[in-house]
Amino acid sequence: MIGLAFIRTALFAETLEMSTDINAVIPMAALRSSRDGKLPVLYLLHGLGGDHTEWTRQASVERYAEDKGIALILPRADRSYYMDMKQGAAYYTYLSEELPAIAKSLFPISDRREDTFIAGLSMGGYGAFKLALRQPERFAAAASLSGSLDIVHRLSEPEVFRNREEERMFGSVVEVQGSDDDLLALAGKVAAAGNQPQLYQCCGTEDFLYEGNRNFLKHAEKVGLRVTYDEEPGGHEWSYWDRNIQKVFDWLPVDKNR
């Protein structure tokens, strides 16, 4: 019998100025055996077309979390790219400031850096790396699965701005390039500072974001940012993500003696 608490939370987010949702998965057996009544936590981010329910609907992350004794926090970020949007809500500020405070007040999760991890797929892979690289003092590890990591390259593709959605999020390519929303620029800053979180990156070789993933990896190697990288055949699809999120759970630097 799996000892899990699955908690659905609806709340008003002051930063977003609207109602939003958070799902949480709490492994109860691990909680009962925890010395301090707190669990290591993985913030798990959804993709552009998904929401806070997709990881639990499409993959077996509840079982993987139970096996590893890790709490999951699954926030809703809509179609935001985890940005403080040029025309829209301040999702980055919400995810980086308000959400952690809410999660720690509601759920039995640790606030230690060494117990705090973040991962995501596609848009969420971009969000996970951005949050971890902009706040390396908060996250011990971050993982991107098929992430949109070279966002400048992605925004430069002619078809991307066809419905102006990305323009409402990011503004222009010129505004993004070299900013803290540009992961390649962030990689150089974090590598130079010497306080990087552990990073895991994977992408399927048939994925339309594969070239951007290779661009990020090449740049990370150039600037001295350490990345554990994995690739295999696969597209932008749940069969790939469910298989590879298991590798992420195995890779996470969880303190087994906590």
- Cα-Cα-Cα-Cα dihedral sign, residues 114, 255, 4, 65: positive
The pLDDT value recorded for residue 160 is 65
pLDDT averaged over every residue in the chain: 94
Nearest to 6 by CA among 81, 61, 50: 61
- Please give the residue that has the higher pLDDT: either 169 or 38: 38
Task: For 172-184, write each residue's pLDDT tens digit.
Answer: 888 999 999 999 9
- Cα-Cα-Cα-Cα dihedral sign, residues 119, 123, 126, 130: negative
The pLDDT value recorded for residue 162 is 57
The total domain count for the chain is 1
- Cα-Cα-Cα-Cα dihedral sign, residues 151, 157, 158, 160: negative
The pLDDT value recorded for residue 155 is 87
In-domain check, residue 174: yes
Residue 93: which domain range?
4-251
Exposed e or buried b per residue across 68-90, where buried means at least 16 C-beta atoms within 10 angstroms of its C-beta: bbbbbbbbbbbbbbbbbbeeebb
Tell me what percent of the residues of the chain surpass a pLDDT of 70.
96
In-domain check, residue 258: no
**Reported confidence tier of residue 257, pLDDT bands at 50, 70, 90:** low
Task: For 96-152, write each residue's pLDDT tens digit.
Answer: 999 999 999 999 999 999 999 999 999 999 999 999 999 999 999 999 999 999 999
Task: For 138-186, write each residue's pLDDT tens digit.
Answer: 999 999 999 999 999 988 887 665 567 888 889 888 899 999 999 999 9
Q: 176 and 151 in contact (C-beta within 8 Å)?
A: yes
Separation between Cα atoms, residue 227 and residue 216, nearest integer Å: 10
Beta bridge partners of 116: 41
Q: Model-level pTM?
A: 0.96
Separation between Cα atoms, residue 109 and residue 40, nearest integer Å: 6
In-domain check, residue 20: yes
In-domain check, residue 122: yes
In-domain check, residue 256: no
Region 203-223: what's the mean pLDDT? 97
The pLDDT value recorded for residue 256 is 74
Task: For 77-95, write each residue's pLDDT tens digit.
Answer: 999 999 999 999 999 999 9
Residue 90 DSSP label: B
User: H/E element holding 4?
Assistant: strand 4-13
Task: For 17-34, write each residue's pLDDT tens digit.
Answer: 999 999 999 999 999 999
In the chain, the amino acid numbered 217 is L
Local structure of 59: helix, strand or coil = coil
Q: What is the CATH number of the domain that holds 73?
A: 3.40.50.1820
In-domain check, residue 257: no
In-domain check, residue 139: yes
Cβ neighbours for 68, distance < 8 A, ≥ 6 positions apart: 27, 249, 252, 254
In-domain check, residue 214: yes
* pLDDT for residue 2 is more than 60: no
